Amino acid sequence: MTDQHLLGVDIGGSGIKGAPVDLVEGRFAAERLRLKTPGRSTPEAVAELVGTIAEEFAGQLPADAPVGITVPAVVQHGTVRTAANIDEDWIGTDAETLFGDLLGRPVLVVNDADAAGAAEMHYGAGRGTDGVVLLTTLGTGIGTALFHGGELVPNTELGHLELDGHDAETRAANSAREDEDLSWQEWAARLQRYYRHVEDLFWPDLFIVGGGVSKKADKFLSELDLRTPIVPAQLRNDAGIIGAAWLAAHREGQA
């Protein structure tokens, strides 16, 4: 390994995944390790598993290399402000201090959609795109990551825009498609309403669609009629880990 390899960890509701990331190539430098998220995903319980992942790869990283960690939450200056699919004990937790003390390294903690967006901007579908870019992850909810001139505007939470009297993600997330047994065309009509509303607010130059359903982008993206180009994400499930590592390096001046 070289000093261009940093550890990224992606904390989710069902799994905690980590791998060293090659920051030159934008890919994993070793096979990722995935551990099951504990039933009660308190900060202490999750931190223990993050420590296990870090220990697994410790010999492959520089001793003082920073670590990037994602959480499914709003994160302000290292402190978690919300909790989606993790224990409510996270709210108010200084996660960067928690993980930094545990790992003995500099740590950046970031919203999971923001990390995925950073990966797509620097290594994936958004690479080379200037102006305003919005990544949306369509899954249990709708996560968003907004960029202007390649710089992240953190914690946008645009899945929670009110649309037609509803929280947008309750109508247009992939979970709504599955729960209501919508056809691709029926779901695309809801996405059309959502994306048109967002583009009227932000006038983006590009939409990037992430989340597991992006693998089936050919079934619904062609149904959308937008003025903004819209493309599927390229890094998919790897994006959170890669983006977390890139953002950690960027803050420490190593990217």
DSSP state letters, 66-127: -EEEEESS-EETTEE---SSS-GGGTT-BHHHHHHHHHTS-EEEEEHHHHHHHHHHHHSTTT
* pLDDT score of 161: 97
Each residue of 149-184: b (16+ CB within 10 Å) or e?
A: eeebebbbbbbebebeeeebbebbbbbbbeeeeeeb
Judge residue 44's burial from the number of C-beta atoms within 10 Å of its C-beta, 0-12 exposed, 13-18 middle, 19 or more buried: middle
**What is the per-residue pLDDT across 176-215, written as a single tens digit (0 to 9) for each?**
999 999 999 999 999 999 999 999 999 999 999 999 899 9
**What is the per-residue pLDDT across 153-174, written as a single tens digit (0 to 9) for each?**
999 999 999 999 999 999 999 9
Domains 5-115+238-251 and 128-233 share a fold: yes
- Tell me the average pLDDT across 59-75: 93
pLDDT band for 1, please (50, 70, 90 cuts): very low
* pLDDT score of 2: 47
Q: What is the mean pLDDT of the chain?
A: 95
* pLDDT score of 64: 87
The CATH number that domain 5-115+238-251 falls under is: 3.30.420.40
* pLDDT score of 240: 96
Q: What does residue 205 show for φ and ψ, rounded to 5 degrees?
A: -90, -20
**What is the per-residue pLDDT across 140-158, written as a single tens digit (0 to 9) for each?**
999 999 999 999 999 999 9
Question: How far is residue 248's CA from residue 67's CA, in Å, rounded to a whole number?
Answer: 6
**What is the per-residue pLDDT across 222-248, written as a single tens digit (0 to 9) for each?**
999 999 999 999 998 899 999 999 999
pTM score, whole prediction:
0.94
Place of tokens 């992430």: 210
DSSP assignments along 140-179, one per residue: SSEEEEEEETTEEE----GGG-EETTEEHHHHHSHHHHHH
**What is the per-residue pLDDT across 86-126, written as a single tens digit (0 to 9) for each?**
899 999 999 999 999 999 999 999 999 999 999 999 999 99
**pLDDT higher at 14 or 70:** 70
Q: Quick check: 255 pLDDT over 80?
A: no
Query: Distance from first CA to last CA of the chain, Å, rounded?
Result: 16
* pLDDT score of 131: 95
**Thinking of the domain 128-233, which architecture would CATH place it in?**
2-Layer Sandwich (3.30)
* pLDDT score of 254: 53
Each residue of 104-119: b (16+ CB within 10 Å) or e?
A: ebbbbbbbbbbbbbbb
Question: How far is residue 137's CA from residue 118's CA, in Å, rounded to a whole number?
Answer: 13
- Residues 80, 93: contact at Cβ < 8 Å? yes
Name the residue type at position 249.
A
Name the residue type at position 197.
H
Each domain of the chain, given as residue ranges in start order, spans 5-115+238-251, 128-233
